[in-house]
């Protein structure tokens, strides 16, 4: 059975950036189960997985446009350093805003702090090593709920 729209697939994956740093991996966990063709995964992954079958091992390269998007300069803001209440602020630190967004500090000067609210993988080219562990039909319930049930999915 091949992966196509409304099939459930279970995959193992390792995600690296172009420098070979591992950003995420399903190794040591259960496979990731998802429903193909309904936006459970980023577009570049769905395109790369389409037509694959159980046992296939391959790589998928995903551009930012088909991944987590390009960086939006409007989501980068300078805020007065006073807003941090005197605590030490360094590039790479993450803070939650009052609206519940996570922002990352990119630059600190004497007066201001530059924070970036883009997804941390925005603008990053993604390299996935993938192995397809299982492909099956989605149930009617899974399709109507938009997620996988049972092993590797929702239990309810
Ligand atoms: Zn459900």
Residue range 7-68+122-145 in CATH 3.40.50.1370: no
pTM for this predicted structure: 0.81
Q: How far is the CA of 104 from the centre of ligand 1 (A)?
A: 33
Could you name the CATH architecture of 73-116? Answer: Beta Barrel (2.40)
CB proximity list for 86: less than 8 A, separation 6 or greater: none
Q: Among residues 103, 128, 123, which one has the least CA distance to residue 115?
A: 103
Q: Among residues 68, 116, 124, 73, which one has the least CA distance to residue 91?
A: 116
Digit-coded pLDDT (tens) for 97-131: 888 888 999 999 999 999 999 998 999 999 999 99
Q: How far is the CA of 143 from the centre of ligand 1 (A)?
A: 9
Q: How far is the CA of 147 from the centre of ligand 1 (A)?
A: 6
- Identical fold at 7-68+122-145 and 73-116? no
Q: Which residue has the tokens 């577009």?
A: 43
- Give the residue extent of every domain in the chain: 7-68+122-145, 73-116
3-state secondary structure of 21: coil
């Amino acid at each position: 059975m091949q992966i196509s729209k409304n099939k459930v697939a279970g995959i193992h994956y390792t995600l690296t950036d172009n420098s070979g740093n591992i950003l995420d991996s399903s190794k040591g966990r259960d496979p990731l189960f998802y429903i193909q063709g309904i936006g459970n995964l980023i577009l570049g992954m769905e395109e790369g997985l389409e037509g694959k079958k159980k046992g296939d091992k391959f790589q998928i390269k995903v551009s930012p446009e088909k991944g987590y998007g390009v960086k939006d300069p409007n989501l980068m803001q300078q805020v007065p350093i006073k807003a941090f209440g005197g605590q030490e602020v360094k590039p790479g630190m993450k803070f939650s805003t009052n609206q519940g967004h996570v922002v990352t500090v990119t630059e600190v000067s004497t007066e201001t702090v530059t924070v970036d609210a883009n997804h941390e993988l925005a603008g990053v080219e993604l390299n996935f090593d993938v192995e397809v562990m299982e492909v099956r039909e989605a149930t009617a319930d899974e399709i109507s709920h938009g997620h996988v049930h049972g092993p590797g999915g929702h239990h309810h």
